[in-house]
Amino acid sequence: MQLPKLKHTDSSLTRPDRFFLMAGPCAIEGRDMALQIAERIVTITNRLQIPYIFKGSYRKANRTKLNSFTGIGDELALSILAEVGRTFDIPTVTDIHESPEAAMAAEYVDVLQIPAFLCRQTELIEAAAQTGKAVNVKKGQFLSGESMGFAVEKVKAANPDATVFLTDRGNSFGYGDLVVDYRNLPAMQAHGVPVVMDCTHSLQQPNQASGVTGGKPALIATIAKAAIAVGADGLFIETHPDPACAKSDGANMLPLDQLEALLEKLIRVREAIL
């Protein structure tokens, strides 16, 4: 699998013994933090020759409680994402929630992400594809990998030349937990697109009585290693310098200072299965 050409042109970034990485904070909390996180991950991924896409949500639309943090303002957050991309010459990705947001976000980022809860929203997928940007569709917690072929069909029908990713983030397991079925990764690869494992959201414990989503970040490495062993093309990891102080999803983010050691281990796993 080769990473679709976004801003990377160095052939060393498409080596078969590498996976690509989508990583960053859950939400854009401010300019300085976004640049700090991006700079650290760029330094790591350049050294390890891992293709990198910076991730950050410009707005969080799916929150349990009314007073949960949703963002610092759409235009400001999107402008910060654009600045990250320019500063480090890397592609960026953000999620969109309604069809009119697609054209707006496409002015600032390289990849538009369809959230898992919205992966069946035809007009939303079509709007993302019609921008000409790459589209990352997250598999719904209620769907199988096989059924995600219809999402790929929708993207390609709207724009035959569109680049498509599919991302697994676990399946609902009871009312407040998720479980990863690794059969979904090869099932989605059968649709002819790169497949990503979301190693942090798959460890969420949603719908808690407190109204704040929980998580099991101690298992991020376990999920990631298993995904690489199964053959995932890419990994999605939310990370933050201090997850306990993060404004969104801190309960299941990887501390930024643990990322480099984890990626080194994952490269060895990747090399072992070739």
Residue numbers of the domain that contains 152: 11-273
| Amino acid type, 227 | A
Secondary structure element (H or E) that encloses residue 29, with its range: none
* Distance between CA atoms of residues 30 and 248, nearest Å: 13
Taking only the tens of pLDDT, the chain with its 274 residues reads: 334 444 433 334 346 778 999 999 999 999 999 999 999 999 999 999 999 999 999 998 765 666 677 779 999 999 999 999 999 999 999 999 999 999 999 999 999 999 999 999 999 999 999 999 999 999 999 999 999 999 999 999 999 999 999 999 999 998 888 999 999 999 999 999 999 999 999 987 776 545 556 678 899 999 999 999 999 999 999 999 999 888 877 778 999 999 999 999 999 999 999 8
* pLDDT at residue number 8: 36
Is there a domain that residue 140 lies in?
yes
Give residues with Cβ within 8 angstroms of 63, minimum separation 6. 69, 70
- The three-class DSSP label of residue 63 is coil
The secondary structure of residue 66, as a DSSP letter, is T
| DSSP line for 118-138 | GTT-HHHHHHHHHTTSEEEEE
Give residues with Cβ within 8 angstroms of 125, minimum separation 6. 114, 119, 135, 137, 151, 154, 155, 158
* Distance between CA atoms of residues 14 and 49, nearest Å: 9
* pLDDT at residue number 5: 45
Is there a domain that residue 2 lies in?
no
Give the residue among 166, 171, 214, 200 at the shortest CA–CA distance from 26: 200
Structural tokens at position 97? 């929630």
* Distance between CA atoms of residues 119 and 140, nearest Å: 6
* Distance between CA atoms of residues 146 and 190, nearest Å: 8
* pLDDT at residue number 13: 39
* Distance between CA atoms of residues 157 and 159, nearest Å: 6
Q: Are 186 and 40 in contact (CB under 8 A)?
A: no
* Distance between CA atoms of residues 108 and 85, nearest Å: 9
The secondary structure of residue 140, as a DSSP letter, is P
Is there a domain that residue 174 lies in?
yes
Residue 191 has, within 13 A of its CA and on its CB side, a CA count of 26
Secondary structure element (H or E) that encloses residue 182, with its range: none
Task: Domain count for the chain, please give it.
Answer: 1
Is there a domain that residue 18 lies in?
yes
* pLDDT at residue number 214: 66
- Signed CA dihedral, 104, 213, 264, 18: sign only: negative
Residue 152: CATH number of its domain = 3.20.20.70
Give residues with Cβ within 8 angstroms of 105, minimum separation 6. 58, 78, 94, 96, 112
**Prediction pTM value:** 0.91
Is there a domain that residue 5 lies in?
no
Is there a domain that residue 4 lies in?
no
Is there a domain that residue 58 lies in?
yes
